[in-house]
Structure 1
Amino acid sequence: MNRWLLSLFTSSATVLVFGLWIPLKALVAQELLELAWAETQARQTDTRPWPWADTWPVARMSWPDLSESMIVLEGASGESLAFGPGRLLGSDRGPGPIVIAGHRDTHFRHLKALKTGSAIRLQARSGAWKEFRVTDTQVVDSRSGRIDAGRLPSDTLMLVTCYPFDSLEPGGPMRYVVTAHAKGALAGHWREQIDTVAGL
């Protein structure tokens, strides 16, 4: 009986440690990313948050209504998404939409609280901010639905995460997509500045 209890306790402790590992890593990483973002802005160059990192900060994203702010990384590999949301689309090769992905249980766990009209702000490396307003939220089956970037207006920001939010299974085919559009007539000007200065 004692062996059974010890085994149960050990298994429970292991599950708890692994369950807390990703959120803890995400929290600590954001502190290091804040430092890298500050250096990126000060030097106006890409700054890796640690020597072996295969990604770097490209923007700061803020959700004023939720009092949330985080650093956005370049790319959306499994490793980079463990540390912060990653930019999937949007580059210095011309105008176009910005698509950012993140994990539903860490950085993008608050996406479900965004409603039509909610503000999302992005800060470029230059320090300039641009505000977007949520225009749509939807659940998409990734097996049949795709984001056709060629059909999106250039002032579009899309945030993508796995769905449902409370699922215990990692991954899955369903995605929660938040679509927002740049606020104001200066959207195109800001977009050009971001493309040129920040690589968004």
Structure 2
Amino acid sequence: MPRFVPSLAFALIGVILFGDGAYIHAKAWLAQVLLERAFDRSVATGQAVKPWSWADTWPVARIEVKRLHASATVLAGSSGQALAFGPGHVEQTVDAGERGVAVYSAHRDTHFRFLRDVTIGDEIDVTRSDGKMLRYRADRSSVVRFDQSGIDPTTDRYELVLSTCWPFDALTAGPERYLLHATLIETDSHARESGS
């Protein structure tokens, strides 16, 4: 067997893996463009707008961390299929701005990659599809097993949790999740009054 065959095989595998990784990031980017358009139409019309005709979900919120110039449009539900296109609003958790804990989840290497750079005290803006804007302040983070989050859905506070896989630089899925906890500090009426 010629000596170049193993090298050629490794090069081909590398190209395939690179292409697969590039495809995932390109799909995530394109999905966010389509989700942004659908979200803007949802806010304008007051109706849920699907981002593409065959979608089984729709955008429900936009998350922004302005200090980091980071933004992501959130889908209804957190199935694996939904998370392939954007962050998901975890089922059976309240909407942002309601009493309890609103939980949004996304992949660490695409839509929630910015979570590694969020610091305690950062402001997180959430705009719901009904146009209501809310501001949260990041107040702590934790690393937990996926089945032991410690989140109390019955709290009487107004909280937000952003969840992604941990550690940030891992190449394979694992049982740990990084949770960024935040507390509501402003609603849209207060933000308008303060000139934000």
Give the alignment's TM-score, normalised by structure 1.
Answer: 0.85
Q: Within 5 Å, give how 1:1-200 maps onto structure 2.
A: 1-88=3-90, 89-91=93-95, 95-150=99-154, 152-169=155-172, 171-184=173-186
3-state SS of paired residue (2:180): strand
Closer, same or farther: CA 127–22 of 1 in aligned 2, 3 Å: same
Per-residue CA deviations over 1:115-173 (Å, capped at 9, x if unaligned) read 111100011223231100011111112354443312x344100000000000011x211
Matched-pair contact (CA < 8 Å) for 2:99–2:156: no
Closer, same or farther: CA 46–144 of 1 in aligned 2, 3 Å: closer
Per-residue CA deviations over 1:50-107 (Å, capped at 9, x if unaligned) read 1111110001111011111121110011111111110002259x74220000100011
3-state SS of paired residue (1:104): coil
Matched-pair contact (CA < 8 Å) for 1:72–1:84: yes
Distance 2:126 2:110 in 1: 19
Q: Which amino acid aligns with 1:50?
A: W
3-state SS of paired residue (1:138): strand
Unpaired runs of at least 5, structure 2:
191-196
Distance 1:3 1:29 in 2: 38
- Relative CO higher for 1 or 2, CA cutoff 8 Å, sep ≥ 6? 1
Q: Which amino acid aligns with 2:140?
A: D
User: What's the offset of the Cα at 1:18?
Assistant: 1.1
Match of 2:194 in 1: none
Give the alignment's TM-score, normalised by structure 2.
Answer: 0.87
Distance 1:126 1:165 in 2: 32
Closer, same or farther: CA 63–145 of 1 in aligned 2, 3 Å: closer
3-state SS of paired residue (2:44): helix
Unpaired runs of at least 5, structure 1:
191-200
Aligned residues: 185
3-state SS of paired residue (2:32): helix
Distance 2:25 2:89 in 1: 20
Match of 1:194 in 2: none
RMSD: 2.1
Matched-pair contact (CA < 8 Å) for 1:115–1:137: no
Closer, same or farther: CA 153–117 of 1 in aligned 2, 3 Å: farther
3-state SS of paired residue (1:16): helix
Closer, same or farther: CA 97–105 of 1 in aligned 2, 3 Å: same
